[in-house]
């Protein structure tokens, strides 16, 4: 500080005090700033040299064993439906075959003509009406006072016996009609018919009219 300045300050006490405060504050700031820098530097160095060892984490405890759980069957698995792939039908081949007309079989050979009948059957007992009597009158027809005339067509076998009887005329009374055919079957006997070779053959004849008359009492 120059002499002129010191003289000026000595003549003004307020200014001198202000100047002194400024100088002392500057010195204190410098001292505090330097000390703080050294402290911070020392702390940084201590941090660099301090090695913190991390403790390993405690081992994890194994989970407790699960309790006995009921066994649940897995849900049924439905297989997907099978899709049948149908093969396309084979192409239809049309084969045209010539139409051959059927060959008609030869006509069957005509059977030889039957031997011609040369002799008809003949009643062995004469007139067939003689086979009937008043004792043959059915009781029901007698009680009813029924009578009438019947006529029959008889079929004669090769042995001369009557094998069939068909009424072509009825008496009007069923009992008399039945009695007519029953008597002819049982009592009529015939000489069999003969063919051209002399062999016995069947024949059909028509009886004369057979009249039933109620007998007098």
Residue 140 structural domain? 117-212
Q: What confidence tens digit (pLDDT) does each residue in 148-194 have?
A: 999 999 999 999 999 999 999 999 999 999 999 999 999 999 999 99
Q: What confidence tens digit (pLDDT) does each residue in 121-148 have?
A: 999 988 999 999 999 999 999 999 999 9
Residue at 136 is within a domain:
yes
Residue at 54 is within a domain:
no
Residue at 184 is within a domain:
yes
Q: CATH number, domain at 146?
A: 3.30.2420
Q: What number of other Cβ atoms are within 10 A of residue 121's Cβ?
A: 24
Contact 170, 97 (CB under 8 A): no
Residue at 74 is within a domain:
no
Are 208 and 121 contained in the same domain?
yes
How many domains does the structure of the chain reveal? 2
Residue at 100 is within a domain:
no
Residue at 78 is within a domain:
no
């Amino acid at each position: 500080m120059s002499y002129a300045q010191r003289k000026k300050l000595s003549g003004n006490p307020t200014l001198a005090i202000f100047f002194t405060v400024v100088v002392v504050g500057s010195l204190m700031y410098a001292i505090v700033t330097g000390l703080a820098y050294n402290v911070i530097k020392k702390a940084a160095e201590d941090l660099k040299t301090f090695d913190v060892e991390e403790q390993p984490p405690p081992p994890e405890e194994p989970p407790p064993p699960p309790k006995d759980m009921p066994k649940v069957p897995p849900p049924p698995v439905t297989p997907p439906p099978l899709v049948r792939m149908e093969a396309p039908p084979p192409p239809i081949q049309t084969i045209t075959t010539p139409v051959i007309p059927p060959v008609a079989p030869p006509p069957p050979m005509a059977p030889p003509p039957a031997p011609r009948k040369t002799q008809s059957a003949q009643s062995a007992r004469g007139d067939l009406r003689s086979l009937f009597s008043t004792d043959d009158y059915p009781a029901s027809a007698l009680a009813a006072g029924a009578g009438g005339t019947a006529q029959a067509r008889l079929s004669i076998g090769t042995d001369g016996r009557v094998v069939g009887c068909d009424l072509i005329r009825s008496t009007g009374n069923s009992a008399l009609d039945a009695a007519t055919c029953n008597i002819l079957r049982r009592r009529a006997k015939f000489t069999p018919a003969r063919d051209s070779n002399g062999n016995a053959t069947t024949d059909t004849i028509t009886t004369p009219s057979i009249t039933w008359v109620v007998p007098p009492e």
